[in-house]
Amino acid sequence: MPRAPAIVLCALLSMPAFAADHFGADHWVRLTTPDFELYTSAGEKQGKYAVRHFEQVREFFLQASPVRGGSDVPLRIFQFDSEAQFQPYSPNGHTAAYFVSTPSRDYIVMGNQTTEAFAPAIHEYMHLIVRHSGLRIPTWLNEGWADVYSTLRPMGKGIAVGDLQPDRMRALATEQWLDFDTLTSVDNKSPIYNEGARVGIFYAESWALVHMLYLSAEYKANFGKFLMALHNGKSAPEACQIAFGRSADAVFADLHKYFDRKKLYGQVFETRIGRSDAEIASAAVPEFDSRLALADLLVPLGKRNEAKEEYARLEKEQPNRGDLDQSIGSLALLSHDTKTAREYFARAYDAGIADPQLCFDLALLERDAKEPPAKIIPILERSLQSKPDFTAAKVQLGMTRLEARDFDGAVSTLMSIPKITPQFAPAVYCGLGYARVQNGDLEAALQDVETCRKWAKTDDETHRADRIQKLIEARAKPSAAVRPKEKLQRVAGIARNVECSPEGNRLQITMGNKMATFDLPDADAVELPSAPSASFTFTCGPQQPIRMGVEFAPPRSAVETSVGIVRRLEY
């Protein structure tokens, strides 16, 4: 997920100046379910109606949509009761609803026009679904598909999608159409997308083209192929040829005929979205909390200075608020001020905030600051207590347990991930392979490394798989004496001597006034630090006295004269 905020509906044009009295001047109610958090100034009744509608729409997308995607945190929705309330947070003068996001949260914002009619909000929810699905699709398809889905409504025993939209039909009938290449090359930075003169026909044509490709009998069977071709980087003309066996000119000609029929067909999906069973918790929002929530909304709108000023005012009023600390830290992280982000995230964490994204971000900041695993592991554990299916946090916890040399814990954590996506597959499988090498399960480790190499996308990932395989092969030799489920131990001392003989080499170190002797296998079977603090090369005989840690496995038998066999050296 990109770190910069994304605005899907439209680019910002101009926004009014903000004053302190814009914040919290109205009475707000907060309604929550596991997947939604709605702030409304329209009253509890309207708020519950809106939440239930979103729950039903979510259920439909889970059951019937060809794309699915969800966030690790609840979607936050703002429902404004009047134009005066909505105007300071509206990106332009004609938007009824919009979708914005930051790395830690998604928002749908609804003006007073959507209090009863939810088509614009459904349009924005489709953008959210597409964003979290991982699909890479062009702007015209994103907007047109969202428009098609915005009409969903109960019909008999199913849900109808694809009703005609009078404003789109009117634009198609009265305005000059964009040619196919112009339509399909528009992105969110294009003048057509951001200027009023042609944006209407862009939306209308996008809706019409998706309507034909997705719902018409002639095209819908191959829409999935078309979608994946675009996702894989093909141009719209190339995707038309791949999916439909037709040129872009032929498809565009079909679109004109499709519209001229004046009788477009929708589709009824065999699913039903009845009354949602989700319990809705409701509570009045104190003024401080509503001001904080509205200040948070300014961040994805690009009004960071205004948000920062309001945070400062709030901090003077209540300096020990963990949720405010989280907001300040999130803004600092977006601004690449990692020092401030780490400071405020730590304050929020110490105040008991259990937000999974906050805990995850704090763990990464602590890792980058070279804090020990013992400090990072509890932070990630709290993240997963709040969101057990937070895959990124679970992967990071597994990697951190590897760093802590807790191999059983690492295997248990990584194996508990129910679905390993391509994004995380290299880290997970190489992590499992490495942990299983340390536990002596070489056969399973080799299988994991082969899977890691299969999913590797970068040279670093491939090299890591190669290093682990080399370690497996070295420890499979008799001289390395790896045994299943062996438990490693660690001591520290001063290197003194290496005894070399045909029967095997031995490392001697002193620990205080005691000498300890370890079997020293071939170099490929011994791990060395990736960034050693001192230069060291083994030679037979007396050694340069250097302090080192020795991780070792127990000796082969009770009659051995060595303490154990060296697995890893740290110096």
DSSP-assigned beta bridge partners for residue 31: 38, 282
Nearest CA among 345, 409, 410 for reference residue 371: 345
Question: Does 345 reside within a domain?
Answer: no
The string of DSSP codes covering 516-542 is EEEEE--GGGSB--SS-SS-----SEE
Domain with 125, as residue range(s), is: 1-137+280-285
Of 461, 458, 475, which is closest to residue 431 (Cα–Cα)?
Answer: 461
* Domain end marker among 257, 285, 313: 285
Among 230, 174, 231, which residue's Cα sits nearest to residue 205?
Answer: 174
Cα–Cα distance for residue pair 336/259, rounded to 1 Å? 49
Residues of the chain under the 50 pLDDT cut: 1-21, 24, 115
Whether 1 and 107 map to the same domain: the answer is yes
Residue whose pair of structure tokens reads 């319990």 in the numeric block: 279
The amino acid sitting at 59 is E
Do 180 and 110 fall into the same domain?
no
Determine contact, residues 158/271, Cβ cutoff 8 Å.
yes
Closest C-alpha to 118, from 61, 55, 53: 53
In this predicted structure, what is the pLDDT of residue 9? Answer: 29
The verdict on residue 535 lying in a domain is yes
Q: Is 96 helix (H, G, I), strand (E, B) or coil?
A: coil
Residues 558, 562: Cα–Cα separation, whole Å: 10
This prediction's pTM:
0.75
How many CB atoms within 10 Å of residue 337?
14
Phi, psi of 39 (to 5 degrees): -105, 125
**359 within domain boundaries:** no
Domain contains 353: no
Cα Rg of the chain (Å, integer): 30
**pLDDT for the residue 199:** 86
> Which of 285, 317, 342 is the endpoint of a domain?
285
Angle between helices 196-215 and 248-260 (to 10 degrees): 90
Residue 3 shares a structural domain with residue 131: yes
The rounded distance, in Å, linking the Cα atoms of 487 and 456 is 30
Task: List Cβ neighbours of 241 (8 Å cut-off, separation of 6 or more).
Answer: 247
Q: How far apart are CA 414 and CA 403, in angstroms?
A: 14
Does residue 176 share a domain with residue 131?
Answer: no
Q: Are 393 and 384 in contact (CB under 8 A)?
A: yes
Q: Is residue 178 located within the same domain as residue 122?
A: no
From 80, 125, 69, select the one nearest 99 (Cα to Cα).
125
Return phi, psi of residue 360, to 5°.
-65, -45
Tokens representing 57 are 């729409």
Residue 384: predicted pLDDT: 96
Q: What pLDDT, on a 0 to 100 scale, did the predictor assign at position 479?
A: 80
Q: What is the pLDDT of residue 5?
A: 34
The residue type of 257 is: K
**385 assigned to some structural domain:** no
44 and 130 share a domain?
yes
Pinpoint the alpha helices (H) of 391-531: 391-403, 407-415, 425-438, 442-455, 459-475
Q: 3-state class of 30 per DSSP?
A: strand
Same domain, 131 and 42: yes
Based on the domain organization, do 79 and 177 belong to the same domain? no
Decide if 85 is inside a domain.
Answer: yes
- Per-residue model confidence (pLDDT) at position 17: 41
Q: Are both 117 and 172 inside the same structural domain?
A: no
Neighbours of 213 (CB within 10 A): 27
**CA 407-528-511 angle, 5° bins:** 90
**Would you give the DSSP letter of residue 404?**
T
Q: What is the pLDDT of residues 15-61, one digit of tens each?
A: 334 444 455 456 899 999 988 999 999 999 999 988 888 887 887 77
Whole-number pLDDT of residue 15: 34
Do 11 and 102 sit in the same domain of this protein? yes
Residue with tokens 């979510």, as numbered in its chain: 58
- Sorted by sequence, the CB contacts under 8 Å of residue 495 that are 6+ apart come out as 507, 508, 509, 536, 543, 544, 545, 546, 547, 548, 571
Q: Secondary structure of 111-154 in the HEC alphabet?
A: CHHHCCCCHHHHHHHHHHHHHHHCCCCCHHHHHHHHHHHCCCEE
Count of CB atoms situated within 10 Å of the CB of 34: 9
pLDDT in tens, 496-511: 999 999 888 999 999 9
Residue pair 526/571 in contact (Cβ under 8 Å)? The answer is no
Q: How many domains does the chain have?
A: 3
How far apart, in whole angstroms, are the C-alpha atoms of residue 430 and residue 445? Answer: 8
Residues 9, 120 within the same domain:
yes
Q: What CA–CA distance (Å, rounded) separates 24 from 518?
A: 69
**103 CB-near residues (< 8 Å, 6+ apart):** 1, 2, 3, 5, 333, 334, 357
Tokens read off for 5: 């905020």
Give the separation between CA 420 and CA 429, rounded to whole angstroms. 9
In Å, how far from its chain's centre is CA 545? 48
As a whole number of angstroms, the distance between CA 23 and CA 88 comes to 10
Domain boundary among 265, 299, 334: 265
Instruction: Say how far residue 125 (Cα) sits from the centre of its chain.
Output: 17
CATH value at residue 557: 2.40.50
The answer to whether residue 316 sits within a structural domain is no
Q: Contact at 8 Å (CB) between 110 and 71?
A: no
Two structure tokens written together for 8 = 């899907």
- Tell me, yes or no, whether 424 lies in a domain: no
Q: Are residues 116 and 193 in the same domain?
A: no
Pairwise CA distance, residues 404 & 11, whole Å = 46
Backbone CA torsion sign across 109, 113, 118, 119: negative
Number of other residues whose CB lies within 10 A of the CB of residue 392: 17
Pinpoint the alpha helices (H) of 233-337.
Answer: 236-244, 248-260, 287-298, 304-317, 322-334
CA distances to 64, 239, 252, 264 from 248, rounded to whole Å, are 29, 9, 6, 21
Q: Residue 550's closest CA among 482, 492, 481, 498?
A: 492
